[in-house]
Structure 1
Amino acid sequence: MPRILNKIALEEHFSAPGLEPTINEVAFFDPGVLAGIEAALPELAEQRLLAMDRAGIAIAVLSQTAPGVQSIRDKALAVELAQRVNDFLHTRMALAPARFRGFACVALQDVDAACNELKRCIQELGFVGVLVNGATNGVYLDEPHFAPFWHTLEQLDVPLYLHPGLVSEHDAAFRGHPELEGAVWSWTCDTATHLLRLVFAQLLDRHPRARLILGHMGETLPYMLWRLDSRAAVTTVGRALIRPPSETLKRHVTVTTSGVCADVPLRCALEAMGDHAVMFSTDYPYEDIQLAADWIEQAAITEDQRIRVCCTNARRVLRLA
Structure 2
Amino acid sequence: MLKIDIHTHILPPELPDFKKMFGYGGFIQLKQCPGCTDFDMVDDSGKFFRRVQENCVNPEVRLQEYDKHHVHVQVLSTIPVMFSYGIKAEDGLVVSKLLNDHISEVVKSNPKRFVGLATVPLQDPKMAAKEAERCIKQLGFKGFQIGSHVNDWNLSDPALYPFYEACEALDAPLFVHPWDMRGQDKMQKYWLPWLVGMPMETSLAISSMIFGGIFHKFPKLRVAFAHGGGSFPFTIGRIQHGFDSRPDLCAVDNKVPPKDYLGHFYFDSLVHDPKALKYLVELVGAEKICLGTDYPFPLGEQIPGKVIEDAFPNDKETQEWLFSKSALNWLGMKKEDFAK
Question: TM range, normalised to the smaller chain?
Answer: 0.7 to 0.9
In structure 1, what is the Cα distance between the partners aligned to 2:187 and 2:297? 25
C-alpha contact (below 8 Å) 1:7/1:57 kept by paired residues: yes
Runs of at least 5 residues in structure 2 that lack an aligned partner in the other structure: 16-27, 31-40, 335-340
In structure 1, what is the Cα distance between the partners aligned to 2:114 and 2:212? 35
Select 2:326's aligned residue among 293, 313, 316.
Answer: 313
How do 1:246-285 and structure 2 match up within 5 A? 246-251=259-264, 253-258=265-270, 260-285=271-296
In structure 1, the partner of 2:84 is 70
Amino acid in the other structure paired with 1:197: S
In structure 2, what is the Cα distance between the partners aligned to 1:233 and 1:138? 27
Amino acid in the other structure paired with 2:166: T
Runs of at least 5 residues in structure 1 that lack an aligned partner in the other structure: none
In structure 2, what is the Cα distance between the partners aligned to 1:136 and 1:40? 28
| Residue 319 (structure 1) shift | 1.5
Q: Deviations over 1:75-133 (max 9, x none)?
A: 21111110111111111111111100000110112211110111111122221110013
C-alpha contact (below 8 Å) 2:85/2:123 kept by paired residues: no
In structure 2, what is the Cα distance between the partners aligned to 1:84 and 1:24? 18
SS in 2 for 1:67: helix
Q: Quick check: 1:139 aligned with 2:139?
A: no
In structure 2, what is the Cα distance between the partners aligned to 1:139 and 1:20? 27
The two structures, once aligned, show a CA RMSD in angstroms of 2.3
In structure 2, what is the Cα distance between the partners aligned to 1:178 and 1:138? 25
| Residue 193 (structure 1) shift | 0.8
| Residue 23 (structure 1) shift | 4.2
How do 1:26-37 and structure 2 match up within 5 A? 34-35=50-51, 37=52
The TM-score, its normalising length taken from structure 1, stands at 0.87
SS in 1 for 2:224: strand
C-alpha contact (below 8 Å) 2:96/2:121 kept by paired residues: yes
In structure 2, the partner of 1:286 is 297
Number of matched residues?
Answer: 304
1:234/1:295 Cα in 2 relative to 1: closer, same or farther (>3 Å)? closer
1:320/1:134 Cα in 2 relative to 1: closer, same or farther (>3 Å)? same
- Select between 285-294 and 145-154 the one with higher mean Cα deviation: 285-294
Amino acid in the other structure paired with 1:257: S
Structure number with higher relative contact order (C-alpha < 8 Å, ≥ 6 residues apart): 1
1:10/1:176 Cα in 2 relative to 1: closer, same or farther (>3 Å)? closer
C-alpha contact (below 8 Å) 1:61/1:100 kept by paired residues: yes
The TM-score, its normalising length taken from structure 2, stands at 0.82
Amino acid in the other structure paired with 1:43: N
How do 1:1-321 and structure 2 match up within 5 A? 4=1, 6-16=2-12, 17-18=14-15, 22-23=41-42, 34-35=50-51, 37-44=52-59, 46-167=60-181, 169-170=182-183, 175=186, 177-235=188-246, 236-239=248-251, 241-251=254-264, 253-258=265-270, 260-287=271-298, 290-300=302-312, 302-321=315-334
